[in-house]
Structure 1
């Protein structure tokens, strides 16, 4: 569990010691045995990796409903884990408050800790990005927004193509209308509520122009960019963490 915050690792270890975890794993083992028996398979190890995943998925789904409508073993564990996480992050913050003298409120520190935990989990298991949900009653912190957008919007093939194009012919990543795109960026941004955040940062404006210029360079008909295409780039640029240079 390297690179995860200590309070998160501790919460996980505590969760594995709970009765709720034991109950869930016991139920899963029983459900797996039942599926194996129905499929006339003697041992779980006889299955391929894909078949193992399918059996485990079916076993897990079978535990997400009860005949009497009461909480399932999964529900019980979920609540227990939530309590342990809440306790873990609060204890960690309390310890830091005893040794440090922060300017932030305890609530702000807790949110920062949670943010760090989310980022660590996303970086460790990026394939689990679909489990990232919005903060209730809280704006999504910039570091989380950056990692989340990066995981959802990044495309390794396009990235490699850009790197290759840039290395082979730097001019090829620029639109024939590069100068006009720059002027349009300058004029359009001034009309927006985020004008100060953009115009006061050379890094932001350069990134906006570079993205749009490369994007336009791939057009076959070289049509003009529409305003909405300029708008789309701005939140991507502003979500960058750390912020681009001024």
Structure 2
């Protein structure tokens, strides 16, 4: 891609961020990465990206699949902040329904017991580095099950934009909003499409009441192709060069 094409790609983002500055506002940019289970070159690359941009990453780890090599690697990767990603990452949804590990069809006692077992295993593996944040596989958890999370010890919950807690509440909810992967083809989405969507999301946040605002990007380091990594590098570099963007730390966002 030529320099002119690169500048053209990021121009809409810079224009939208200029509007934030003109309004006297800033947005926190943060990252969540799902499906971690083991040490790998891709995990090394995620850690390097995190450190290069000074941006901690909420790393959602599958408890019952996580390997000791992951714990060893994370001890050398302080900017990757592990949390619990479901239990087994198994689909329990009925045939024809969207995938979910914690759908309404499952009994609350089964959910409670499974979560506690998985939480204990992950705590034994990762120790005090583990954040008390829960990330459900496929970003789906029935609100009645989400209401169980505080009693199990979770202080935060992260799904995807549009998810809301039910009448019985739950832990602090901070959703991601921009998924960089195309799951139909399992490759990184086109950068121009991602920039366009990011601008629409930022404009929506800007239109809301004044105060703190955060935009979360959803990553899957195990599945990233070169297009996904290249977008992340370019997006983060451009975003953090703008005064309207702050570094979002998951610990602060969840009040931990």
TM-score (ref. length: structure 2): 0.26
The structure with the largest helix share of the pair is 1
TM-score (ref. length: structure 1): 0.26
- Structure ranking higher on relative contact order (CA contacts 8 Å, 6+ apart): 2
The structure with the largest strand share of the pair is 2
Structure 1 or 2, whichever has the larger Rg, is: 1
